[in-house]
A and B are shown apart, each in its own frame.
Chain A
Amino acid sequence: MNEKAEELNRVEKKDLFGSGHRACGGCGQALAARLVHDAAGENTIACVATGCLEVFSSPYPDPCWRIPFLHSLFENPAAVASGVEAAYKALKKGPVNIIAQAGDGSTADIGFQCISGMFERGHNVLYVCYDNEAYMNTGVQRSSFTPYGAWTSTTPMGNPTRKKNLPLIAADHGIPYVATATVDDFRDLQRKVKTALSIEGPKYIHILVPCPLGWGHPGELTVKICRLAKDTGLFPIFEIIDGKVTNVKKIPVKVPVEEYLKPQGRFRFLFKKGVPTEKVAEIQEIANQNIERFNL
């Protein structure tokens, strides 16, 4: 039993998502991709959606992947992964880890149909959503994961709607494992990937990945911003195992949302000459609701 725990908690660095990709400096998604695939190991097939990840990682002739990857379209990695899984079953090959992955736009909007279908059919596929809270690759347009009040190029006055809660929607499909994670706590993220891959059935991991360009902060603050997202309560960290919310990461010292909003250029319109507007209080309310709901 202890060996298993050791294996689960061991930090992996194999660079299966290698150097030479064209991500911006400090890209949270590049970091997350490497952490996820190193945790999954070499016996993995990645089904990737069009988006920042695909575009910066797989140009011909020098993709940075060291494990096989399959990319077709923007909205279908879940369906493609279902096909790969079905093929492996039919051909009696494997076992193999199949990770379908996409950004927030592909997961929550245009690809919602596909992942709902994949979850419902019960394929043995891990779905990873890299949530950078907008359609970053096409120029920072709004998605249904864009948080309230954020500037995007299609909501220049601040996003008027609240972030869709996909982890809960995924859990309600009856899948055995759902988790949220951030890139600053790499041990936690890798443990969650390994845990997920040890369970049969559809799994969903939702990773918050700061985008320096789209969020308007310097690349070096990526890890710090993740921490602030957690510590303000705006991004709760938890697992849902067989429908029950568990392993909620409690916040040791609650941080007011201003500290999270101020360093990001996309929230600059929430402050007039450094003074927060009423929107900030509304965002604080969202954070408070999260804290209460998940008992952070």
Chain B
Amino acid sequence: MSSKMNRRSFLTAGAAAGAAGLLGGALLTSCSGGNKQKPLREPGTYYIPELPDKAIDGRPLKAGLIGCGGRGNGAVNDLLEAADGITITALGDVFPDRIEATRKAISENHGQEVPEDHCFTGFDAYQKVIDSGVDMVIVATPPVFRPVHFQYATSKGVHSFLEKPICVDAKGYRTIMATAKQAEAKGLSVVTGTQRHHQRAYVESFKKIQEGLIGEITGGNVYWNQGMLWYRERQAGWSDMEWMIRDWVNWKWLSGDHIVEQHVHNIDVFTWMLGAHPVKATGVGSRQRRITGDQYDNFSIDFEFENGIHMHSFCRQIDGCSSNVSEFIQGTKGSWNSQDFAIRDLQGNILWQYDEEAAKEQFTQHNPYVLEHVDWVNHIRKGEAHVEAAETGQSSLAGTMGREAAYTGNTVTWDEISASEMDYMPEKLELGKMNMKAYTVPVPGTGKEA
């Protein structure tokens, strides 16, 4: 912290000295940026969210929640903090106990009573929630279901908040891409849970990078290394399907594996900043200490983009190992990273850094999970179309491409994965027996499709 203060006082002193005309012009231009920067993209060609502390007032809105797990409950809290005049009017989940707990929490925390006849259970609960007369819906089920739920909401003209990732396979990706266009045509507001897009420090960094402060992007590293996530042991009386869904972050078909389910955040930061999706992926991954399910617990992927740009993606969910959740981007003139939200030149001098103190003076709301809902509601209330699903669809497919590269041991191209017949959705959705033998941990190089 003290070193940060030092840097800042150095910068201030430098600026003052420059103003006093004590320093040469060369240093000034390299420090103040300005005229020598070539923007990566022209202003106006990329989206910068407005991030007021709270959503504008407007017509009262009815919101539904599909998927009453931890994230769904969190999203309800964030939405109600983000905006006034919003009522949660319908809940949907596969399990009644989840609905009951959520209903109770909403009553206790927000004083809103969701009518019992607007609480729906089962795999088709999403249709009932959407058809119950809601304006907007939070979709926070396990990700494999996201494309179908988004498609249905859009067909009914309902605005969606889609928790990330928004697809875990090729079929789902295509549904997302098509539905995103349809949502746009209908003027809907669709925000995805890649909340870094609504995090002030990231948004300011994004602006600087687009203005050209690090030059052309030449590569990067992105990380989500943490300890074990969570798992559920199977309980007596649970069917195969019930266990899988309650333990969903450990099963490929439900979560897309952790490179998609969790690490998509970091991959997405790189594709967001670069403005392009990767064209191929080669990588390794394995399962060392995961307890349930059929997923890996570590991946290391080399993503290649057009023009030979490489980005290394690295994710791990193993206890007792070093942690790092961040992104680093290298450009021709400097680099940026999200550990201290600073841009350094090629000599290591700090050219720019996110000014948290200044932001705190200007705004009161800094929680990106709340701010994404502010943006969502504002677009709905202003009647402006805003659809993030295609961009997040591409980063979700990028994660999927990396996953398949590790599972198979082969280089996987974007053309291959985006046109693939891969479809993780089981033929039959019911709380019953599953062919558990089909859910095995992939072994690279065996030629078997995961």
Physical interaction between A and B: no
| Residue ranges of B at the interface with A (Cβ–Cβ < 8 Å) | none
A interface residues, Cβ below 8 angstroms from B: none
